Chains A and B, each alone.
Chain A
Amino acid sequence: MYDAIVVGSGAAGTFVAHGLIGAKTLVIDTGISFAEASSLDGNLYDLRKRQSLFAETVGTQFEALSGMDGTELSPKVKSPLMRPVFARPPGAPDVLSAAFAPLFSYAAGGLANAWGAQVYRFDDVDLRGFPLRAADLDPFYDELTQHIGISGTEDDLSRFHGSAQGLQPPLELSAVGREILERYTRRAENFKREGIHLGRPRLAVLSRDHGNRNACTYDNLEFFRPRMRAVFTPAFTLEELVRRGMIEYCPGYLVETYRESDDAVEVLARPLDGGEARTFQGRKLILCLGALNTARLVLHANKDTQSRLPLVETPYVYAPLVSPRRIGMPLEKRSFYSQLNLFYVGPLWPERLVGMIYATEGLLRADLLFKFPLAIQGCLAAAKYLLPAMALFQLYYPGEPHPSNTLGVDANGNLRLRYEPPPVGGVEKHVLGTLRRMGYWSSTRLVQLSHPGASVHYAGPLPMRDCPNRRYETNRNGLLAGTKSVYVGDSAAFPRLPAKNLTFTIMANALRIGRALRKELVN
């Protein structure tokens, strides 16, 4: 019997397992693996100039062309070499929803294989509704900062980002980022009075070598090359834990259900190759399959097809920005796509909003070309001359539970999601107006709202409470109400979401839960 069985190996599963070091831990995972792309060694544009990148950018199965019917897919989701991150193994549950299109990962390392690597600490404002204070998470954020290698700096955003201790220097900015930041800095006090705070993002991307991982080379390959060593993914930690014999890793299994007895939990898992199902026994079970799949498994294990649990997402809007001064300037070959971070705190929205400004160099031109209101040869000219002058702006809103947004399962364990997009907007006009004064033009007519499910920031179904008194609530250490040894280690236990990206907090909270469980198990 294992001390602990962790199901899932994403941001939560990996760091629960890390926190459990010292206990006899098994990680069960579908664990779809994929090769690192050695054919993409070098700069995207140097490579494009001298060789065909058909297999890497379009794909031998024409992966980049999927979604041509008009469905907007993120460039990373379409990217051929990233495909295993989002691949659906045989036997995986279906999603029954016309309104919400979630993304899942069954890969070792989970969705964070393709994350934006933005790192945010939740402070007490962000933790409103959680039974936690920032002080509960800070030691784990600090530990992760050392472990991961995070780049960033002390600037106007420090009040939102928290401690800058242990950070690597920030990444180099491209011309777009430099220009906006310079103009902001000149009149920062004015902008701040208007609620706009701009600065460098904290990124899980190395600006200096860190352990066996090399610093960022600014090759514009973020959308095409999985597991770039400069960009942290939990898969690196998972590999290390396995290599050092600190956990037992069992990939290739899809967990079907679990059963709790007085002193143990039994987990029933079916191999992906169609063989005989296996049963694993542990003293504790920690579910880390991602918010939606964790909730699905809990409902399915309870054979509950009636309950409807809360479904929370952080919606976002996005818009292009253009600097007239940079039209016709040469393309910058060396760049990393995350450039600047923006916070809005003001009267237009009751809570702080979080924005990012991205460079566009790493995108395929074909992804943007048809958005220009020109005949096709004009679109080509626009892609060539306008893109070096362009940036993309994205603004996240917080996510709250709402009675119309729910998650349930059917008798076969498939997910049933109901979702009505919450009303967001109204701040963009102000933010875009401010960015125009920094030299970057856009229009509210170009602002688009994300499709429900597109943010990949999900939470809410098994909320943590100080005193959980309802079925399907958890305590602050993730223990599911009504159970003795079933824990939730991922964002299924987050009762709501602030506008900040949640991945770093998933890691910190998972590490916290893992440590608390280890203490209990060892004692």
Chain B
Amino acid sequence: MSELTSSSTEAKSHIVANLPAATPPLLVDTICDPAQYRHEASAIHWAVFGREVPAEVASRYSDAHDVALSAVDLAQLRWMHGILDKGFDLESLEYVLRTRQPGHVLCQKFKLLIYIAEAYPEYYADFVNEVPRRTSAFYSLAGHGLRTLFKYFKGWWLFRMFL
């Protein structure tokens, strides 16, 4: 029993050690080139909506950084650019971070993109249900509950194995 406890604690601390630091060691202005923002917007948009980001939303996303994310943790930003380059599952990583470090730059960038997207009519159907869909809603929510479990474990696994 004590062996089990000990190994699970070790495993946990190992995983937590792999997470980017919770306390920002260094805050920087996010001076970033437009191509990098476009790359971020595209990857996050795929993770949330499963399709390519419209040019106007990507452009707003880039502009928003001057106001909403004018200073972020440099280590977190580098880490995020690293996972974008490696093409990891952003949805899984964002969910794990949201449960442990909701102020992480990746979570902030997801929020940013969703606020912007909601203002555009192209996304209306993503946010609003206009017809009675009780059965499909229950199946959808139940499915997403299971999918969330999968994403959670996948996120931890990614942190543990690769990050």
Contact = CB atoms under 8 A, between A and B. Distances in A.
Chain B, interface size category, equals: 35 or more
Say what secondary structure dominates the interface of chain B.
Answer: helix
A62 B151 contact: no
Contacts of A369: 114
A58 B135 contact: no
B118 A57 contact: yes
Interface stretch (B5-13, B35-43, B76-84, B88-96): B88-96
A102 B129 CA distance: 37
A369 B102 CA distance: 13
Given A53-B119, A377-B147, A378-B144, A329 B112 contact: no
A66 interface: yes
A366 B108 CA distance: 12
Interface string A362-387: 00111001100111111011111110
A513 B115 CA distance: 46
Interface string B108-131: 101110111011110010111111
Nearest to A57: B119
Say what secondary structure dominates the interface of chain A.
Answer: helix
Interface in B125-155: 126-138, 140-141, 144-145, 147-148, 151-152
A50 B48 contact: no
Contacts of A378: 141, 144-145, 147-148
A378 to B, nearest CB: 3
B17 interface: no
B47 interface: yes
B129 A376 contact: no
A193 interface: no
B115 A377 contact: no
B121 A328 contact: no
B133 A377 contact: no
Given A66-B67, A374-B144, A380-B48, A330 B132 contact: yes
A54 B126 contact: no
A38 to B, nearest CB: 18
Contacts of B69: 68
B127 A365 contact: yes
A81 to B, nearest CB: 13
Interface string A382-421: 1111101000000000000000000000000000000000
Contacts of B128: 45, 48, 331, 384
Contacts of B51: none
B135 A328 contact: yes
Chain A, interface size category, equals: 35 or more
Interface string B35-71: 0000000000001111000000000100110011100
Nearest to A65: B68
B101 to A, nearest CB: 11
A381 B112 contact: no
A52 B124 CA distance: 10
B98 interface: yes
B129 A366 contact: no
B103 interface: yes
Contact of A68 (B98, B112, B140, B152): B112
B77 to A, nearest CB: 15
Contact of B132 (A328, A364, A365, A376): A328
Contact of B134 (A45, A54, A327, A365): A327
Nearest to A54: B119
A378 B68 CA distance: 25
B91 A366 contact: no
B98 A331 contact: no
Given A65-B115, A366-B111, A381 B141 contact: yes
A70 B103 CA distance: 7
Interface string A64-78: 111011100000000
A69 B120 CA distance: 24
A49 interface: yes
Contact of A376 (B91, B135, B141): B91
**Residue of B47, B127, B133 with most partner-chain A CB within 10 A:** B127
Contacts of A330: 129-132
A329 B110 contact: no
Nearest to B139: A328
List the 6 closest A-B pairs by CB distance, nearest first.
A328-B137, A378-B144, A65-B68, A385-B137, A328-B134, A375-B151
24 contacts: A52-B119, A54-B60, A54-B116, A57-B118, A61-B67, A65-B64, A65-B115, A66-B68, A69-B103, A70-B103, A328-B136, A328-B137, A330-B132, A331-B128, A331-B130, A365-B118, A370-B111, A373-B99, A374-B95, A376-B91, A376-B110, A380-B48, A382-B144, A385-B137
Given A62-B63, A330-B132, A378-B145, 8 more contacts: A52-B120, A65-B67, A327-B134, A328-B133, A329-B132, A329-B134, A370-B107, A378-B147
